[in-house]
Amino acid sequence: MRIYPAFSLRILFTQLALMTVLLFSNFVQGQSGNLDGNSIILPVVTVADNAFRIEFSLIPDSSPLLITLTGAEELGSTDSIDTANANSFSGLTLSVPDLSVDGASYWADFILLSEDPLIFQLAGAGLNGVQTAAGDPNTCTRPEPDFSNGPNNPPVVSGFSIDPSNIQDGGPAPDGIPPLTNPIFTQDLESTGIFPDSLVVGVKVGDEVRAYPHQILDWHEVVNDTFTVAGQQQQMTLSYCPLTGSAVMWEGFLNSTNKTFGTSGLLLNSNLVLYDRETRSLWSQMLEQSISGSEVLRIPNKAQVVETTWETWRTMYPETILMTENTGFSRPYGIYPYGSFRTDQSLLFNVNNQNDLRLHRKERVLGINVGDKSKVYPVSDFSSEVSLIHDGVGGMDVVAAGSAGQNFAVMYNRQLEDCTTLEFTAVQDQLPIVMIDNEGTQWDVFGSAVSGPRTGSTLQKTNSFIAYWFAWTSFFPGTEIN
């Protein structure tokens, strides 16, 4: 899945040339990379017919890992270099076949995120020489989530990556449904008036735990919020579409001066279309990528959200703070703005594949996409207690943890970077802990290892979130039902 439109190699050469410290015309050295503290040094990187020595710095607390270019030296042509085993940059993917980390050898692939500054995101890594079940070294591969839910490398026609005739006017003007920025939260949870069975979107960013009630999100749809992570301010945008029942959270772009989003007033398959306030490009919430404008095809970094009842969320995280109705706007919070829409079979807007009635249109499902495979797991099909589903989707081994009684469902890749595939058992009455693996590590609802041999590790987030059935099958026709 492409993260950023491919750029001219000439631009890269120009950037590298500006950073050149020393020119090596015919010097060839070892090609193995090395992680030294927070620096990755790649002695030889081939770019087309040229070679460079490049140094990157790790961006602290980034997840997935981000690296940024900090230095480069031109080595000249690749005529005397073994290009078959060299680190290489294709214009999109930086491939590192041998990276030394504490004496161990790893392979790693990084995907270009940003041109200015030059930033890459870790897309996959593994230990070299690992023996697989078949006994062959270096064949350990872990299927990776697509970076977005959209098709791979869709054509851009007249500035749109989707058919613009499918975009509908939802009625309000841009920001006519007013987004919130840096809303007010409270720790006085007893005075809020929210009911135990009211749905909230819960997030955990760094050490901060927050809950956003549906009854407020129904009227605002977009919340631009700020968190503190490792002493640094992190802009995040939570969006919730009351017409499709879908909630996602994106990180602000590092190279943007205005990292906030607004509501465009437009819909795609009845789903929220956002716009970013720096370039005014359009973004599909459920596709999780830009569909028009200068940022077309760009994909944001995504954070895990947990959609559940207020009672369950408070049980999981009693230290949480709650977004209040003190928004600066006068709205009848607690009254759903679309009548009986969220429970009946009606549709307010035309959608693709709207006659797929294998499930009730408003059935809440946890959906996942891997490659060209899509599958949903109805939240109501989980048991009343915490239950697990081990499954394979598009070649990826996944585990879904959920509870119909406690009204939540999440899904993670259960294959680790070292290609260990874990088996899990549900854990009861210890929320937010939801499962324990066959090695004895306990994992919470955000996929974090909280005790045991792998404490501090995190399961890989998948392209999964909860939405209404009609919305999921509109975007992903033919999806399988568990």
pLDDT in tens, 212-238: 999 999 999 999 999 998 888 999 999
Query: Which amino acid would we find at residue 109?
Result: D
Question: Is pLDDT of 347 > 80?
Answer: yes
pLDDT score, position 89 = 84
Question: Is pLDDT of 27 > 70?
Answer: no
| Sequence ranges of the chain with CATH classification 2.102.10 | 364-481
pLDDT score, position 385 = 97
Considering the chain, what is the average pLDDT of its residues? Answer: 86
Name which of 107, 136, 115, 138 is nearest 42 in CA terms: 107
pLDDT score, position 71 = 86
- Neighbouring CB atoms inside 10 A of 21's CB total 10
- How many whole angstroms separate alpha carbon 45 and alpha carbon 467? 43
Largest pairwise CA distance in the chain: 73
Q: pLDDT band for position 136 (50/70/90)? A: very low
Dihedral (CA of 377, 382, 387, 389) sign: negative
Portion of the chain with pLDDT greater than 70, in percent:
87
**Average pLDDT for 117-128:** 78
Q: pLDDT band for position 102 (50/70/90)? A: confident
pLDDT score, position 146 = 65
Q: pLDDT band for position 336 (50/70/90)? A: very high
Question: Is pLDDT of 26 > 60?
Answer: no
Q: pLDDT band for position 432 (50/70/90)? A: very high
Return the ∠ at Cα 50 (arms to 49 and 52), rounded to 5°.
150
**Average pLDDT for 246-256:** 90
Portion of the chain with pLDDT greater than 90, in percent:
62
pLDDT score, position 15 = 41
**Average pLDDT for 86-95:** 80
Question: Is pLDDT of 159 > 50?
Answer: yes
Residues 6+ apart with CB under 8 A from 226: 182, 233, 234, 235, 236
Return the ∠ at Cα 339 (arms to 337 and 344), rounded to 5°.
130
pLDDT score, position 398 = 96
Name which of 211, 275, 221, 212 is nearest 246 in CA terms: 221
The kind and range of the H/E element at 460 are strand 460-461
Decide: pTM greater than 0.85: no
**Average pLDDT for 468-482:** 96
Q: With contact defined as beta carbons under 8 Å apart, do 46 and 88 qualify?
A: yes
Name which of 349, 259, 311 is nearest 431 in CA terms: 311
- How many whole angstroms separate alpha carbon 356 and alpha carbon 16? 52
Q: Which residue has the higher pLDDT, 178 or 93?
A: 178
pLDDT in tens, 377-413: 999 999 999 999 999 998 899 999 999 999 999 999 9
The kind and range of the H/E element at 439 are none
**Average pLDDT for 70-95:** 75
CATH number of 364-481: 2.102.10
Q: pLDDT band for position 97 (50/70/90)? A: confident
DSSP calls for 411-431: EEE-B-TT--B--EEE--S-T
**Average pLDDT for 287-312:** 94
Q: With contact defined as beta carbons under 8 Å apart, do 170 and 303 qualify?
A: no
Burial class (CB in 10 A: 0-12, 13-18, 19+), 76: middle
pLDDT score, position 308 = 98
**Average pLDDT for 296-318:** 95
CB under 8 Å, gap of 24 or more: what pairs does 430-434 form? 431/312, 431/315, 431/316, 431/386, 431/406, 432/316, 432/317, 434/386, 434/401
Q: Which residue has the higher pLDDT, 191 or 457?
A: 457
**Average pLDDT for 303-313:** 97
pLDDT score, position 6 = 31
